Structure 1
Amino acid sequence: MVNASSSPSSLLVCEDNDGYPVFALGMEVSCILVLSHFFHLILKPLGLPGPIAQMLAGLVLGPSGLSQIKAVRKYFFIHDATDNYQSMAMFSRIIFMFLIGLEMDIPYLFRSLRPAAGIAFGGGVVCSIFAVAISPFMYRQTGDHEDKFTFALILMLLIANTASPVVIRLAAELNLATSDVGRLAISSSLINDISCLLVVALMTVLGGDGGKVWERIRGGIFSIMVLGVVVILNQHLARWLNQRNRKRKYLKNAEVFCILSVVLATCMFIELMGYNSISACFFIGMMFPREGKTARTLLHKLTYPVHNFILPIYFGFTGFQADITHLKSFHHIIVIVLVVLLSMGGKISGTLAACHYFKIPLKEGVVLAFLLNLKGHVDILIICVALQKHRWSPAIYNVLIVTIVINTTVVGPAVTFLLRKEREAMAFREIGLEWQNPESELRVLACVHCPRHVSTMVGVINAVSSGSHKAPITPYLVHLIELTEKSSTNLMYHQLESNELSDEEDYGGNDVLEINDAVDDFIMETGIMIRQISAVSPVASIYEDVCNVAEDIRASIILLPFHKHHRIDGNMEKGKEGIRATNQKVLRHSPCSAAILIDRGLRAPPQVPAGSDTGQHIVSLFFGGPDDREALAFSSRLAMHPDVHLTVTRFLLAPRKEHLGFDIASNKDEEVLMAISSDEAQNEVDEAFLGNFYNRYVMSGQVRYVEKYVENGAGTVAMLSEMGKMYSLFVVGKGGRRLSPLTAGMSNWEECPELGSVGDLLASSDFAISSSVLVIQQQRHPRKEIIDDEL
């Protein structure tokens, strides 16, 4: 008991401060945060990710480091505070796993379930074989006298497990989270982690006498029922909160607290029932409704604190558990080396074998193998279960904890080294749609400056989504917000989000609310999940944000809005000139294909009965060249939509020689004729691509194919004018084609060179058509760096 007359300040530093563990807990957490950021600053130039620095901070602060100092241990690292730190790490894990489930790419998880499961179980099976082989030796080292089968099972789980939270965070730190190898590693680690937790749960249920077994089974069934009720409750709660906050950008803090309280209460109930809540909180997050303000608010409110406060505490706790002072025996060192080597060897051999079966490249397989070697909280949980059920010595417990920390701190730098070595081979190089499989994933980055652009952009996204898993689409929508000179001298963007007195006019204002509502309505109607991003920059450099986001998400194509908008009278009115400058710079520096969309009222394809001819009619124009091939490849995605009727119109020169004459200077005639005769290779590429397209789509009846013969540029203009009222959308390449009589003279009055000659003609107010136009440019060379050059 503490003397009542003592002051609070004296109690904080008194010798017997067991009554005030909160102070010690605060000191531990503060030291973890400070040390983890310090180590991260030192290790970041070496390429080592944050989780490694945070584990090292826990190791330095734990029993192996500062806790050995008597004054530190006396005042700050008391037993109760350490127990509270363990509880805080558990809460951190709950919130983090809920966020992982909320951010999980569920469509990709289902698409990649077979290879992800194969890789997860491939490494796990080989590790289990190795574990069984060394279990007799380890059994003697632990001095265990219980069931040998249970001991071997625990060792198998310990060596085979992969820590999914560490893999997810490490992949994000190394910019792998959006790559194929990174997403496959995340999916495989989740499958491995949850499988090991299920085995641990079965061990917990089946352990003990018969009466307790049935009691635990009943508790498990009741926990599953509670989990199902909470999932259903979240569905209704999220919809109600979305309706309640229609005129707000985000939910109130009290409402966010209510949702998190439900999640924490559910997970704590499952913990009290004797089961681990990692899978439960992940499942709650994964099943949480993604559309609307509720999910958007949770992502906005949780991302920053989780990555900067919760994760350092969580990963620091793993390092905090290790105590290398007990490694005084040569046998202990042998155990550590043996377990680490067998774990790494089993994961590498099993993962590479599975990758070979699924035809994954060797370089990606090696990175996958090392990523799946990471250990974490579930391994500690397995050791704790073993310690409770078996009479292991504390020394062996610490030895196994040290193996977990060493395994992760060795694998992290190894992955970084591999990525540095293979940076060129594994860097983002988005090849054109022309060379991609039409059924591969299409990652679209749609840019909007204001709510006016949203309906058209989501219309294109809907049209290009086939509605089947055969041609998946992952759309992103980035809101480009101009950072004005006035607003840049005030608060930063992230500060304005939490300051109710701030003027958000220059940071999106009501535009953000309208854009969010339009996206939410689209998601509700179509079921296509659009991920939203905000980019706030000065107008001169906002193109850098577009290119950087496209590279981060590994986009296949960037959709840009035209700087003019359609008026009621049919004319095109100029908007902000900064939009045009941004489009021009993006076209020059884009890491992937890019397209400018001229909107004349394009909407999403209507829902019509199968076989009806009243859907959306789209035409793809083909003159020849790489950009037109890219436009045709993009059009093939449109053709897969059941409510889209695509027509491909190829323009060809009339066969008679006298039709080669056109109304331009004679010297240009000669240039054109020379270009025609010297471009046979390009013609062959065009013919081969068109041939494949014809056999795949036209022969099957999916696409209508038309050839138009014209004599010169004037004939092309007349033909396009006739087609203007037949289609709602024209898709055409920007240019990149040879000099051709088909377009000769059309660039003499060119107003917007970034659209090319045909696109500029179709976008002109003088050209009386009411169709929208999509002008596509193929990305020809990888972008090495972005330079800020003036146009």
Structure 2
Amino acid sequence: MEAARRALCGDDPFNPLITTFTQAAGILVISHGFHLFLKQFGQPGPVAQILAGVVLGPSLLSRDKNVRKFFIQSSTADYYEVFQSIFRTIFMFLIGLEMDIPYMRRNLRIASIIASGGVTLCVLFGIVASIALIILSKIKQNFFEFFSLVIIVLANSASPVLFRLASELKFLTSDTGKLAVCASLITEMSCVLWSLITLTEHTWENFGMAILFLLMTVALIVVNNYLAFWCNQRIRNQKYVTNAEFLVFLSLLITAGLVIEEYGFNSTISCFMFGLMFPREGKTTRTLLHKLSYATYNFILPVYFGYIGFQLDVSYMGSLVPSITVIVMILMSIASKIIGTLVACHYLKIPTDEGIVLGFLLDLKGNMEFQMLGKLPEEILKPWKEEEDVHNLIVTVVVINTVITGVVVALILKKKEEYFSHRHISLELSEPESELRVLVCVYGSRHISSKIGLISAFSESLKTPVTAYLMHLVELPKKRTKKNLMYHQLQDGDQYSDEEDYGGDDVVEINDAVDAYTMETKVLIHQKKVVSSFEKLYEDVCDYIEDLRVSIIFLTFHKHQRLDGKMESGKEGMRITNHKVLRHAPCSVGIFVDRGQTGFQQPSSQSVQNIATLFFGGPDDREALACSKMIAAHPHIHLTLIHFQHSPSSEQIECTNGTIHRNDEMLMEMTNHEIEAEIDKAFVQDFYNRYVTSGQAGYVEKYVEDGTQTAEALRDLQGTYSLLIVGKGGRGHSPMTTGVSDWEECPELGTVGDLLASSELNSSGSVLVIQQYRHSRNDLN
């Protein structure tokens, strides 16, 4: 690009480069200090980073002659432009790579309407503002270009700023956050296309180059897909692709972005499409996410946001007219976005509170506006007599508007935390069309097959969207050993990180199993890894549940089956973690007892799974049945509901009939029991009407008098089902489960689950024990 040539061919390319790196270091240091202070008030990182740029720029520190002479040199602007282009290329690619494509596809219409609402009103306000500025600036030519510039300043929404803001404020995974990102991308892409029209309408040559770059984008997407497939298949015993292969992908990406920028076009759409269309499975994507995410979120974006603030010069607002102009522009930008978004949300029947937050989020600036200003040819800018004032106006509006919007959004989310935070709803009460977010946890490769089977059962059964996460839990040894190898001594493709070693060969086997499943079914499993001591492991798990807004989590039982069929205990830390997650998890919890090859496997045409849900009554059993509903429609699963009902003996009936006097406490207990019984009856009836009568599930009733008969009935199920699903407890005092086992070896499984998982029963089927989320849980029940 032209800026790169000017920078490299200058008389002294070295000193401006030192200035550029010093500026980046200063922004990082100052922004970190600001962030430590502002995060106490709930303010996100982008606000602190923009303010750091303002402090370092001509508004404060660079007002001093010596500082200004060092930071603001004529040749440093070229370096800033080059690095901005590279940074923008990388993080737009990363946003595309991390984009939730199924959500975007499902909600494209809604996001488009919301984006259109804000853009339409911004265009109307922009026309009014442009006419006023043309009169004030006495512009005589190129009205269309000036109109375009002002409209883009008002209408644009900076997706990188929004993406990072939503991530730090912990609502990126919410419906509001994902909808805002989709609407922001649509808005930004619309502004990019409009700027391309502005540039290409002057000459046919520009139009031809735009078509050429479109074809180049398509070709590079095809090349990336082919190379990614080749790299995934080339070496199967590594966690990541080699450094050389990573550099090939990065070089192709940056080169394409710089070439597009060289000819005066915007590379935002192309870079985003490179990431969006990149294959999601395999070690290539895993490597790109691993290596680019840390650098982008900890260095690239802070410096990029900081440079936005660095360009602000408050001296521009020293007189009355510029100050009024800036204030009016900011008010018009905020008002048009909020009013337009609220109108669209009213049409879509989205709540007003959510519409206000969406309006403020879509008003974030900082990506497209500076590019548009920099890409306009000199012959367009030349007739504008106050060119410097136009530049300062746009910079001032963008910076102040973004800071105000970021602060307001953070305050709204803090004030309305209950509304926008994760809503803890059990599966029993969740809406049928709502998204199901499943988190499965494994400690090693032996657990991965059955857990992928669980994900498959949900993903291929439900018509509603399912988002699956797989978390590898790794114990952090008390004595931590460091590598003695230097970086250049590591094998190609290894990572210079001690934590990357934890998990050993299990990591490779888990990755291979996930990749194979994704390639076969096209169902994406998001992988996470937690390295911590067993005493603190549950905290990380619960934090992830909150951040990912998980509906239900499946844990691994601490025992595993030996070759002789007996259950053998594993690490005691696994059991401690399960106990603590059951106590503290902000969602429903399932503990999976794996029986190996004789137990539950991934359903397929060659492996049809017979599953039974045992229903005794109570909230946990209802949650287990609600979970079973979600897999009943799987074509290769046959589900049977076994409804255990009490058949009292004659002595019990006589005793009950002879009881005439009951105190108030006993009356209340009986009343609550009767209410629970009615809820259970209605829930089972609903299941019967929906699934049994339609032939999707079977139904069996078993009448038992006491725990002994229940245990016998459970023994009769041996060898019939590959998976038994049951609630943990919460049934209160039930004669059907009294005395099922003389002692509970594993109380975290409940009375029935403990018997099913014990070696005493000698069962060959896996067991899934479900505990329903409760608003307050002081014990394990």
**TM-score above 0.5:** yes
Q: Which residue of 2 aligns with 1:633?
A: 626
In the TM superposition, 1:591-606 aligns within 5 A as 591-601=586-596, 602-606=599-603
Q: Of residues 516, 524, 532 in structure 1, which corresponds to 2:527? A: 532
Residue 560 (structure 1) aligned to one of 535, 552, 555: 555
Structure 2: gaps of 5 or more residues: 1-10
Aligned pair in 2 of structure 1 residues 781, 573: CA closer, same or farther (>3 Å)?
same
1:92 alignment partner in structure 2: 87
Asked if 1:726 corresponds to 2:720, the answer is yes
Alignment partner of 1:621 out of 614, 618, 623: 614
Query: Which whole-Å CA distance do the structure 1 matches of 2:672 and 2:273 have between them?
Result: 61
Q: Report the Cα distance in structure 1 between the residues aligned to 2:496 and 2:344, rounded to whole angstroms.
A: 56
Aligned to 1:437: 431
Matched with 1:105 is: 100
Per-residue Cα deviation, 1:246-291 (whole angstroms, up to 9, x for no partner): 2222222222111100111111222233320011111101111111
The answer to whether the 8 A contact 1:660-1:711 is kept is: no
- Partner residue, 1:569: 564
**Which string of whole-angstrom CA distances, capped at 9 and with x for unpartnered residues, describes residues 669-724 of structure 1?**
x9999966651111121122223323332333222222222222222222222222
The equivalent residue for 2:5 is: none
- Say whether the 8 Å CA contact 1:86–1:317 is kept in structure 2: no
> Compared with structure 1, are the counterparts of its residues 387 and 328 closer, same or farther at alpha carbon in structure 2 (3 Å cutoff)?
farther
Q: Which amino acid aligns with 1:124?
A: V
SS at match of 2:264: coil
> Which is worse superposed, 451-460 or 131-140?
131-140
Deviations 1:532-555 (A, max 9, x none): 111111111211111111111111
TM-score calculated relative to the size of structure 1 = 0.90
Listed as ranges, the matches of 1:200-599 within 5 Å are: 200-206=195-201, 208=202, 212-213=203-204, 215-385=205-375, 388=378, 389-390=380-381, 391-392=383-384, 393=386, 394-466=388-460, 470-487=463-480, 507-599=502-594
Aligned equivalents of 1:222 and 1:604: distance in 2?
Answer: 50
Match of 2:54 in 1: 59
> 1:376 and 1:674, CA in 2 relative to 1: closer, same or farther beyond 3 A?
closer
- Structure 2 residue identity aligned to 1:715: Q
Q: For the Cα contact (< 8 Å) 2:265–2:375, is it kept in 1?
A: no
Structure 1 CA distance, aligned partners of 2:133 and 2:374? Answer: 17
Q: Relative to structure 2, which stretch is displaced further, 337-346 or 323-332?
A: 323-332
CA-CA distance at 1:183 after TM superposition? 1.2
User: Is the 2:171–2:421 Cα contact (8 Å) retained in structure 1?
Assistant: no
Confirm or deny: 8 A CA contact 1:675 1:739 kept in the other structure.
no
The counterpart of 1:193, out of the listed 166, 184, 188, is 188
Q: Which residue pairs with 2:605 in the alignment?
A: 608
**Residues 293 and 18 of structure 1: is their aligned pair in 2 closer, same or farther, counting only changes over 3 Å?**
closer
DSSP-derived class of the 1:79 partner: coil
**Which amino acid letter does the alignment assign opposite residue 620 of structure 2?**
D
RMSD of the TM alignment (CA)?
A: 2.9
Runs (4+) of structure 1 exceeding 6 A deviation are: 488-491, 496-506, 659-662, 670-674
Partner Cα separation in structure 2 for residue 186 and residue 273 of structure 1: 29
1:222, 1:311 → 2: CA distance? 30
Quickly say closer, same or farther: Cα 1:356–1:505, change in 2 above 3 A. closer
State how far apart, in whole Å, the 2-side matches of 1:289 and 1:505 are. Answer: 23
What's the offset of the Cα at 1:383?
Answer: 3.2
Q: Deviations over 1:288-321 (max 9, x none)?
A: 1111111111111111111111112211121122
**Structure 1 residue 39 displacement after superposition:** 2.0
Q: Where in structure 1 are there 5+ consecutive unaligned residues?
A: 1-15
For 2:222 and 2:333, locate their aligned partners in 1 and report how far apart those are by CA, in whole Å: 40
Q: For residues 521 and 87 of structure 1, what CA distance do their matches in structure 2 show? A: 40
Structure 1 SS opposite 2:694: coil
Q: What is the TM-score of this pair, normalised by structure 2?
A: 0.91
Contact 1:463–1:641 (8 Å) recurs in 2: yes
CA distance in 2, matches of 1:707, 1:733: 17
Distance apart, 1:658 and its partner CA: 4.8
The Cα of 1:527 is off from its aligned counterpart by 1.5
Task: Specify the code of the residue in structure 1 equivalent to 2:762.
Answer: A
Query: Residues 674 and 409 (structure 1 numbering): CA distance in 2 closer, same or farther, change over 3 Å?
Result: closer
CA spacing shift, 1:42–1:108, aligned 2, 3 Å: same
- Post-superposition Cα deviations, 1:654-681, rounded to whole Å, max 9, x if no partner, equal 376457699xxx9xxx999996665111
Q: Percent identity?
A: 49
SS at match of 2:240: coil
| Aligned residues of 1:484 and 1:506 also touching (Cα < 8 A) | no
What CA distance in whole angstroms lies between the structure 2 residues aligned with 1:372 and 1:511? 43
Separation in 2, partners of 1:231, 1:125: 32
Give CA-to-partner distance per residue, 1:591-625, whole Å, 9 cap, x none.
1000000011345444329xxxx722111111111
Contact kept, 8 Å, 1:332 with 1:396, in 2: the verdict is no
- Match of residue 679 from structure 1: 673
Range with greater deviation from structure 2 (96-105 or 690-699): 690-699
**Which residue of structure 2 aligns with residue 3 of structure 1?**
none
- Equivalent pair of 1:467/1:641 in contact (CA under 8 Å): yes
Given that 2:240 and 2:283 are in contact with CA atoms closer than 8 Å, whether structure 1 keeps it comes out as: yes
Q: Does 1:643 align with 2:633?
A: no
Give the secondary structure class of the aligned counterpart of 1:723: coil
Q: Which is worse superposed, 542-551 or 349-358?
A: 349-358
CA distance in 2, matches of 1:274, 1:202: 12
Shift of 1:203: 1.8
CA distance in 2, matches of 1:413, 1:502: 36
**Which one-letter code corresponds to 2:440 in the other structure?**
A
When residues 353 and 502 of structure 1 are mapped into structure 2, their CA distance, relative to the original with a 3 A threshold, is closer
1:748 positional shift: 2.6
